[in-house]
Structure 1
Amino acid sequence: MRWKCTCAYDGTDFDGWQRQPSGGAVQNHIEAALTQIFDRPLQLHGSGRTDAGVHARGQCFHFDAEWLHEPEKLIRALHSILPTSIRIKSAKSVSDDFHARFSVSGKRYLYNYYLGRADPVDDRYVWACRDLPLDLKEMQVAADRLLGTHDFSAYSATHGKENDPNPVKTVSRLQLKQRGKFIRLDAEGSGFLYRMVRSIAGALYAVGRGRLTPDDIAEILESKKRTHRIVTAPAKGLFLDKVFY
């Protein structure tokens, strides 16, 4: 029996999503809880990785195990073991051909900026931009230049690799919204390269500060090469909001 689960987590104190030898990743904690519940080693498969410090409201994963009770009972069992910074939002049985990673049709991320010095509670979840102001209108113009299907190699961090696999992605939404001192970037697309959303968030910040122009953003995209002019935004402002299947 295959189970699909959706979870949320505060990534502040975790070593990212993906299983780590240290045991400090979100996946480590959920697998340990499942192993305890089913009394045998269980491995799960996630929709994709999130880096250390990145949060999630809608990360998805699947695992295979026989569970003869209601899904809500499985969720309660997991919550009795997991730290409070990880919550299981839903669990349901799915067909055996479902795969949390390979069945994905798209993802939505949110990135949060804050204008000024954030309160300690908010500071865990935003990039506090203390060098005011930001030109939101110009940032949106630049964001619009990235919409569509492109090779996004220039907006990916590759750990020294020349190219990420399949660098061509379709970005269908990059929308900036301001509410008081908070600015939120909604990013939605078919998929995203390693640190791509954080790279876009950093590039748009540079536009807001007048360090780059919308034309620069388009030219960097066309170059397909990473440049020092693109700064990766801090992990703590990023949320994996939803995975589409």
Structure 2
Amino acid sequence: MFPMRWKCGCSYDGTDYSGWQTQDGPLSIQQVVEECLSEIFKKDTKAIGSGRTDAGVHAMEQVFHFDFEWKHDPGSLVEAMRSLLPDTVTPLFVQKVEDDFHARFSAVSKWYQYRIYLGQATALENRYSWSLYGDLALEAMAKATSLLEGTHDFGAFAANRGIEYKTTVRKMFRSEMLQEKDFLLLNFQADGFMYKMVRSFAGTLANVGLRRLSLDAFHELLKSAERTPMVFVAPAKGLFLKKVFY
């Protein structure tokens, strides 16, 4: 009998992890999840995620799939996972899916949010946001954020780690900046993201807010698709994977 395919969602505090994907060195979220599933099923079990999140990045809803002939209620599997996973990783749901479902390749878009705290964040908020000080040009930041919406070559915002992309063109369905009390929330939903792309957005938009980069210069940077020293990578701690859409 072939194993069933299951889709699972989880949230996590990525502060103390090397990211989602297992690699040599520090502990990853994937490793923790696979160890949990393997303990429950008494068999090595692979968890395939919707994509990587970098070291220190958080998730409100990461999605992964795994294969196993689970004959009990999905809710009981969630409870079993919750009892074994550390407090920094929380299972959200488990559901049966078709055999051709793939957490990464079946996704049509992802939503990331970057959180900026205006001023000095409290000890608690400092773990999950980036503090910016001073009189920021918020209107210019909001306009620059909106320029990212649509289909563009985002080569200027792709950090280079030896990756050769087939294309750096992506479709940005949503790019907006919202202010909620002391927070700026930068929301980006696209059909795909490149390495450190969202953090490059956030850091460069901060340069606009700090008046180090004009709105026109930001627009020219986007159109050029060429990375320059004005593209700054914001700290990982402010970034959240909010949702994966299928």
- Both proteins in one fold, TM over 0.5: yes
Q: What's the TM-score, normalizing by structure 1? A: 0.96
Q: Does 1:14 align with 2:17?
A: yes
In structure 2, the partner of 1:104 is 107
Aligned residue for 2:182?
181
Task: State whether residues 17 and 26 of structure 2, in contact with CA within 8 Å, keep that contact through their aligned partners in structure 1.
Answer: no
SS in 1 for 2:6: strand
CA contact (8 A) 1:147 1:174 kept: yes
Matched, 1:149 2:154: no
Q: Indicate the residue corresponding to 1:127 in structure 2.
A: 130
- Superposed, 1:27-38 pairs within 5 Å as 27-38=30-41
| Structure 2 counterpart of 1:95 | 98
Gaps of 5+ in 2: none
Determine helix, strand or coil for the equivalent of 1:186. Answer: strand
8 A contact 1:195–1:232 mirrored in 2: yes
Confirm or deny: 8 A CA contact 1:136 1:176 kept in the other structure. Answer: no
Partner SS, residue 12 of structure 1: coil
CA–CA distance in structure 2, aligned partners of residues 16 and 133 of structure 1: 33
1:10–1:55 contact (8 Å) kept in structure 2: yes
Answer with 50-59 or 135-144: which moved more.
Answer: 135-144
Match of 1:234 in 2: 235
Tell me which residue corresponds to 1:243: 244
1:168-194 deviations in Å (ceiling 9; x for gaps): 101121111112211111111111111
Is it true that 1:51 corresponds to 2:51 in the alignment? Answer: no
- Superposition RMSD on alpha carbons, in Å? 1.1
Residue number in structure 2 paired with 1:171: 172
CA contact under 8 A between 1:177 and 1:183: conserved in structure 2? yes
Contact 1:5 1:92 in 2 (8 A): yes
What's the counterpart of residue 83 of structure 1?
86
SS in 2 for 1:154: helix
Q: How many angstroms apart in 1 are the aligned matches of 2:184 and 2:14? A: 20
Q: 3-state DSSP class of the match of 2:216? A: helix
Q: Aligned partners of 2:74, 2:178: CA distance in 1, in Å?
A: 37
Q: Secondary structure at the match of 2:124?
A: helix
Match of 1:140 among 139, 142, 151: 142
Q: CA deviation at 1:61?
A: 0.2
Could you tell me which amino acid in structure 2 is paired with residue 154 of structure 1?
Answer: A
Instruction: Tell me which amino acid in the other structure corresponds to 1:193.
Output: M
1:239 Cα deviation from its structure 2 partner: 0.2
Displacement of 1:220 after TM fit? 1.2
**Residues 58-83 of structure 1: CA distance to partner in whole angstroms, max 9, x if unpaired?**
10000000100011110111111110
The CA distance in 2 between the partners of 1:172 and 1:77, in whole Å, is 37
Contact 1:174 1:188 in 2 (8 A): yes
In the other structure, the counterpart of 1:219 is 220
Letter in 1 for 2:222: L
User: 1:19-71 CA deviation, whole Å, 9 max, x = no partner?
Assistant: 12236000000000111111111111100000011000010000000100011
Q: Are the counterparts in 1 of residues 108 and 191 from structure 2 also a CA contact under 8 Å?
A: yes
